[in-house]
Structure 1
């Protein structure tokens, strides 16, 4: 089973280097695989170049899929992180 949620980016600068770095650091705290999808592109949230390569701008909606042993905790905390930082 997996957890999935959508999130709309509200940061005026989108997902630029600083928040992307924080996001990757947060994702690396979990055993679960965390995938971020924008449009038809999906990337591993634990890879900075993948995250930045999505080119997420303010107002873009991303889908986050979390799968693994700690997925419930990871999904809840990761969603809260996004709300506070993006």
Structure 2
């Protein structure tokens, strides 16, 4: 079992509000392996849970840590990192 971790900076100008959070949570769910997201050094939350992601209150410029467990964990984090660093509000 492969585990991968990555820290990324949020690019969306309004942070992870409804639309970017939905895109992110859906991508995490579609990954088919467990993925968590944590803001700064806070408690990790299931990245596939849109409510859990919104509840973190992630703003533009915040740093989050993603962790994925399973086959192609690095590939999954590549995809999710790209979603988080893109400004979906532009």
TM-score when scaled to structure 1? Answer: 0.87
Question: Quick check: 1:84 aligned with 2:86?
Answer: yes
Q: Which residue of 1 aligns with 2:6?
A: 5
User: Higher mean Cα deviation, 35-44 or 50-59?
Assistant: 35-44
For the aligned residue pairs, the C-alpha RMSD in angstroms reads 1.5
Q: 1:84 to 1:58 in 2, by over 3 A?
A: closer
Counterpart Cα distance in 1 of 2:38 and 2:30: 20
Q: 1:12 to 1:85 in 2, by over 3 A?
A: closer
5+ unaligned residues in a row in structure 2: which ranges? none
Deviation per CA, 1:33-78, whole angstroms, max 9, x where unpaired?
A: 1100113221001101100000001111100011112312212222
Task: Give the length in aligned residue pairs.
Answer: 86
TM-score when scaled to structure 2? Answer: 0.84
Deviation at 1:85, TM superposition (A): 4.5
Counterpart Cα distance in 2 of 1:68 and 1:42: 17
Equivalent runs, 1:1-86 vs 2, <5 Å:
1-38=2-39, 39-85=41-87
List, as ranges, runs of 4+ consecutive aligned residues in structure 1 with deviation greater than 3 Å: none
